Amino acid sequence: MHPDLERVIALQRLDTAAHDAERRLADQPQREKALDERLEAARADLGAAKEGLAKNAEARRAIEKDVAVHQGRLSKFREQAMAVKTNVEYHAIQKEMAFAQGEIRTLEDGILERLLEADEITARVKQAEAMLGKEQKAVEAERKEMTAEHTQLQASLEKIAADRSELVRALDPGVLATFELVSKRRNGIAVAEARNGICTICHVRLRPQVFNTVLKNEGILQCDSCNRILFYVAPAAAPPGASVDQAVR
């Protein structure tokens, strides 16, 4: 293979690796934001569960106050019943007592409902607390991984820059200029493999004489359609003992 062709292939690999590393670094603020949102969602779930428990307790206390009011009335009616002198007054008081007792039973049923509801909400609070704890540990672990990855990516970019400088120094200036121009115009991809007579990037069929020249890998040749520098990779040789049919496949 022509030395400059080998170099532009290596240069493309370095540029692609650098692009991937830079993209990964650029994504980190968004990933950090996503981690913050996960924690915030878990905290919000816990807050909502605790708020529900507080409202339940407040509603139960309100019912208990109403029960106390009706119990006070019932006690008062019982005292009055001891002092009545006529059946009419007695029946009237009995009616008031029955009403107060009915209200108390209804309110006590409401208290029981709130207690059962409180058990369910308490379970949700514990579940939300467990989930928050789990998310906090997971987020902390992911942030440590991101910090390590950040360091690794920065080191990788420094090495890529050094390797690229070395390649660029050895590369023919004209070939480098072609590479840089095509890379700028083609989203960072300036080199393409030619396979079965086709440019594998733009998928346009090459002229037969062009493809035949590319097969030799003896110089810098560009795709007529996308202008990318073309190279050819020979198919792997069949293992010893393989049949002709296997080799073709």
> Could you tell me if residue 239 is inside a domain?
no
User: Which CATH number characterizes residue 23's domain?
Assistant: 1.10.287.1490
Give the pairing type, strands 191-195 and 198-199. antiparallel
Number of domains in the chain: 2
Instruction: Verify that 101 and 31 share a domain, yes or no.
Output: yes
Range of the domain at 26: 3-169
Instruction: Verify that 46 and 146 share a domain, yes or no.
Output: yes
Please measure the distance between the N-terminal and C-terminal CA atoms of the chain and give it in whole angstroms: 26
Residues in Cβ contact with 16 at an 8 Å cutoff, skipping those fewer than 6 apart: 188, 189
Model's pTM, two decimal places? 0.70
Give the pairing type, strands 229-231 and 198-199. unpaired
Instruction: Verify that 24 and 107 share a domain, yes or no.
Output: yes
Instruction: Verify that 151 and 70 share a domain, yes or no.
Output: yes
Q: How confident is the model at residue 249 (pLDDT cuts 50, 70, 90)?
A: very low
> Could you tell me if residue 237 is inside a domain?
no
pLDDT tens across 185-237, in order? 999 999 999 999 999 999 999 999 999 999 999 999 999 999 999 999 988 76
Place of tokens 């605790």: 50
> Could you tell me if residue 150 is inside a domain?
yes
Instruction: Verify that 197 and 116 share a domain, yes or no.
Output: no
Place of tokens 């789990």: 134
